[in-house]
Structure 1
Amino acid sequence: MGNDPGCRGAAPDVTVCASAPVRTPGKSDSQSAAAKGGGKGSAAPKCIYTKMVPQPPAENLAMQNGKEREGKGAAYQVMCPGTGRIGVVWIPDGNAPGAPAIDPEVVARQAVDSMKLVGPDIAINPKPGGKGLVGMPVWMAVDQSPTTYGPNSASATAGGVTVTATAKVKSIVWNMDDGTSVTCSGPGTVYRKSFGMKQSPDCGHVYKQTSDSAGGKFKVSATATWAVGWQVAGGGGETGQLTEVRNSQVALTIIESQAVN
């Protein structure tokens, strides 16, 4: 089989190849996991479609749902080597040499785009604009909303295929700009004055040097990894997983304790 996106084999097994369209993230600080290393506008992974011979029995959900949505057509096995996704999709008759008009993963990405996911809403202590001390605990946390932490759900429809996607932040990696990073599996604990000088119980850091070593301020970044699960509508439809990444930054001033008046 060649690399031509329109390639297909001979009967009785018909194989067709299709490249998903280019996806442009909605935010300049975001990237799709499938596009890592490829820069913005990288193409989604190529998927290979093979017509199933013999076709699944009539009671198979892919057969039932496909006939209800599209009428005449056939069931194809879809394999996306870039993601490891394997499933069965219904392709209506009349498409160009059996090639599917819509891949459900492409529709899932459209649903994710409509969520307008953004970088973490950082709630850190000491607060940006204030001053922290060398050797004193820094508390890192994020406020939780549908667009900054999740859960967030959305649906998209294209070519008769409806996909619902649900996204939630799985982890946040904090780059402290002093050569260290902290990975937090949850949103962290927002600091309150009653905590005094205690360290954060779940997401904290202690600076051992002033921010003078970083040009006056430590540029702290929080990179959130979103886990996205999607499913084709219709009950028992094809499912899959995606990963999205979003980033935010704040600047902290850290000084020596004896410098405080």
Structure 2
Amino acid sequence: MGADCSTNPDAPECHFSIDGRSSTKSASIPKAGPANVSNVRVCQEVPVFIPLVQRVVTVGDPSVPERMTQQECTVNGHLVDSSLLFSPIDPAAPTVSAQQLAQHAYQALVMPRPDVGMSPRADVPQLAGLPVWLWLKPGSWSSKSVTLTVGGVTVTATATPRQVVWSMGDGTTETCAGPGTPFPEHPTGDGMALSPDCGHIYRRTSAMEPGGAFHVTTTITWRVDWTGFGPGGTFPDVESSTGFPVRVIEAAALVTNSH
């Protein structure tokens, strides 16, 4: 059994050292207990007692946050031990909400500009009245995602393409649910076939347009969902666009220029 610090403060049990400096804590006055009580050691946490200490020594791995508590142990109401305890704080405890982290992931998404395909090619004159095939090249029509982890919370924001709108520059638009179909390398027929899913026919020339060309804009609309810690959710759609000129002429002009 330890010493009674209230009557014998010089006993070894009444002294401890923190950061190399000695401190003395007076024990509470022993409580008289029944004669038949067995010598049972009882420990409990109490308010931290650190007299005259200017700083606390880091214990264990400094990269792991720790919580400091003081523990007192008694036997039959007599204080027998007083010590400082260091326990790691749960690293999985969220320091940021999943919704806040998902918002950061949403803002970190960088959507690629559409890489377009067109037949006839955009760098050669189109013929008014003839079909034009429109499509997106590989890589433009695939999901993009950003994953972030903070304080044990991991979320992923994923952008999925849902439609592409072609503003053809002549006042009309073509809305396609998918990336479109590339024009075949070895077409059959007379070249008058329409695209099966995404195409356009210019009904007039671009001769009166600035620079003699229509300005075409291709815009992909992306749906953004986030998953991870919690039920997840959906953010507002995002868009990515690219633009380029297209010159459209009459078929007769092409014949004239070919001679």
TM-score (norm 2): 0.57
Higher helix share: 1
Name the structure 1 match of 2:117. 123
Once the two structures are superposed, the pairs formed by residues 106-145 of structure 1 within 5 Å of their partners are 106-112=100-106, 114-145=108-139
Name the structure 1 match of 2:228. 232
* 8 A Cα contact 2:148 2:155, kept in partner: yes
Q: Between the two structures, name the one with larger relative contact order (CA 8 Å, sep ≥ 6).
A: 1
Name the structure 1 match of 2:252. 258
Task: Specify whether residues 150 and 115 from structure 1 end up closer, same or farther in structure 2 by C-alpha distance, changes over 3 A only.
Answer: farther
* 8 A Cα contact 1:165 1:229, kept in partner: yes
C-alpha distance in 1, partners of 2:217/2:166?
6
Once the two structures are superposed, the pairs formed by residues 11-160 of structure 1 within 5 Å of their partners are 69-70=92-93, 102-112=96-106, 114-145=108-139, 148-160=140-152
Instruction: From 189, 206, 212, give the equivalent of 2:207.
Output: 212
* 8 A Cα contact 1:126 1:252, kept in partner: no
> Gaps spanning 5+ residues in structure 1: where?
1-66, 71-91, 93-100
Aligned-partner residue type, residue 206 of structure 1: I
Cα deviation for residue 68 of structure 1 reads: 7.7
Instruction: From 181, 185, 210, give the equivalent of 2:177.
Output: 185
C-alpha distance in 2, partners of 1:175/1:124?
13
Aligned-partner residue type, residue 114 of structure 2: P
In percent, how many aligned pairs have the same letter? 36
Aligned-partner residue type, residue 126 of structure 1: P
For 1:212, what is the secondary structure of its paired residue? coil
Which structure has the greater CA radius of gyration? 2
For 2:207, what is the secondary structure of its paired residue? helix
Once the two structures are superposed, the pairs formed by residues 153-172 of structure 1 within 5 Å of their partners are 153-172=145-164
Task: Specify whether residues 103 and 222 from structure 1 end up closer, same or farther in structure 2 by C-alpha distance, changes over 3 A only.
Answer: farther
* 8 A Cα contact 1:165 1:231, kept in partner: yes
**CA deviation profile, 1:128-156 (whole Å, cap 9, x unmatched):** 211110000111100131xx321223311
Name the structure 2 match of 1:88. none
* 8 A Cα contact 1:177 1:214, kept in partner: no
Name the structure 2 match of 1:199. 194
Name the structure 2 match of 1:13. none
Aligned-partner residue type, residue 222 of structure 1: T
For 2:208, what is the secondary structure of its paired residue? helix
Q: Mean alpha-carbon deviation: is it higher for 110-119 or for 150-159?
A: 110-119
Name the structure 2 match of 1:18. none
For 2:187, what is the secondary structure of its paired residue? helix
For 1:107, what is the secondary structure of its paired residue? helix
Name the structure 2 match of 1:244. 238
CA RMSD of aligned residues (A): 2.1
C-alpha distance in 2, partners of 1:118/1:156?
20
Aligned residues: 161
Cα deviation for residue 190 of structure 1 reads: 0.9
For 1:194, what is the secondary structure of its paired residue? coil
Task: Specify whether residues 144 and 256 from structure 1 end up closer, same or farther in structure 2 by C-alpha distance, changes over 3 A only.
Answer: same
